[in-house]
Amino acid sequence: MNSDHATLFQRGVDLFELRDWADAIAVLDQVIQQQPNHDAAWCCKALCQGHLRQLDASLTSFDQALTINPSNLRALENKGILLVQMERPKEAIAPLELLLQLQPMDYKAWSTKGDALVQLKRFQDAIHAYDCALEFNPNDFKAYSNRGNAFVELGRFHSAISSFDKALAIHPHEPQIWFNRACALDVSGKRDEALASYERAIAASPVHVSSWINRGNLLAKQGKETEAIASYDEAIQLDPQSTQAWNNRGLALRRSGRAKEAIASYDQAIATNPTNYEAWDNRGYALAKMGKIRDAIASIDQALKVHPNHANGIYNKGYCYAMQGKTTLAVDHISQAIQINPQKYLPAAATDPDLEMLHSNKRFQALIKNYRQKSAGS
């Protein structure tokens, strides 16, 4: 490369470092026009295109760099990262493995390979990759965090929490890690610790909407509906389009005996996302509790239009038919819900006070007995 080309390339690099991506590309294109085999210019251009979210163009530029120089380490690493970002994990593995052949101690490559393996649902292999990343860089908090997520996917919650703790020891102010730790604690039944972890996430980032929502969910599980509603209100103030927060707020209001307010909250959930079948279903149940059975069935039908096999909606529709005295239709729907999810709806149907009017029905009794015998025999 002559001095003029080197100066021009350095100008492109300087613009890249100044985050002036578009002007950097214009300069790098001049370098490439004069020297088409300048792999470093192609690689730098690819990075600029990636920052501008021109992902396909960025991938093409990385490929150009690697056609010229298959051992361009920066291109191999960033092509792998880009393909993971594009959710093309199978393609990401090849450049990362080539990079690791050339640089076996590259912790970033190991960590990115772990991310690709997670996308492929190869969670045990991902954990091994993260372990390798951590062997070469014990301070890689992202690898600890992502390894924790992989443990969660395998149901290894104790290991997940331990991994999140190690991430937080390095980077204690990352709200997403506190959030993920709280989720693992919640699933493990450690609700007080989970609540504290959600609150640490919120302390780290008061605008972390998911933590406000899950904090509300946890408070609701503890029967603290008023506090749960306040938590959902915080989430909604931050993100008025959060259909999940509106829906869960409706649940807490309905359990508090505030059915009209619950329906208004479900209406907001549906307004933000008309395909939120759970909100349609929950709205229907609230209407049924108010005695508005026809309106309830219409709302539940909207849920089933979106998700025909939504067992809870089918169950609630059975409850509505029972309220109307349409016993045959009621038992048909309860049976269908049990068939979809016997673990949940068989014990529910047998003890649900909402279905008290069916408990003396012989067909309903036979249904429960039959499913219990099947469950015992399986």
DSSP 39-93: HHHHHHHHHHHHHTT-HHHHHHHHHHHHHH-TT-HHHHHHHHHHHHHTT-HHHHH
| Encoded amino acid at 153, one letter | E
Return the pLDDT at 377.
58
List the domain boundaries for the chain: 317-377
DSSP code of 274? T
SS3 string of 231-257? Answer: HHHHHHHHCCCCHHHHHHHHHHHHHCC
> How far is it, in rounded angstroms, from Cα 118 to Cα 113?
9
Contact, 31 vs 38, CB < 8 A? Answer: yes
Exposure letters 302-320 (e unless 16+ CB within 10 A, then b) = bbbeeeeebbbbbbbbbbb
Return the pLDDT at 315.
98
Query: What is the pLDDT tens value at each position of the chain, 378 positions in all?
Result: 555 778 999 999 999 999 999 999 999 999 999 999 999 999 999 999 999 999 999 999 999 999 999 999 999 999 999 999 999 999 999 999 999 999 999 999 999 999 999 999 999 999 999 999 999 999 999 999 999 999 999 999 999 999 999 999 999 999 999 999 999 999 999 999 999 999 999 999 999 999 999 999 999 999 999 999 999 999 999 999 999 999 999 999 999 999 999 999 999 999 999 999 999 999 999 999 999 999 999 999 999 999 999 999 999 999 999 999 999 999 999 999 999 999 999 999 989 999 999 988 999 999 888 877 776 655
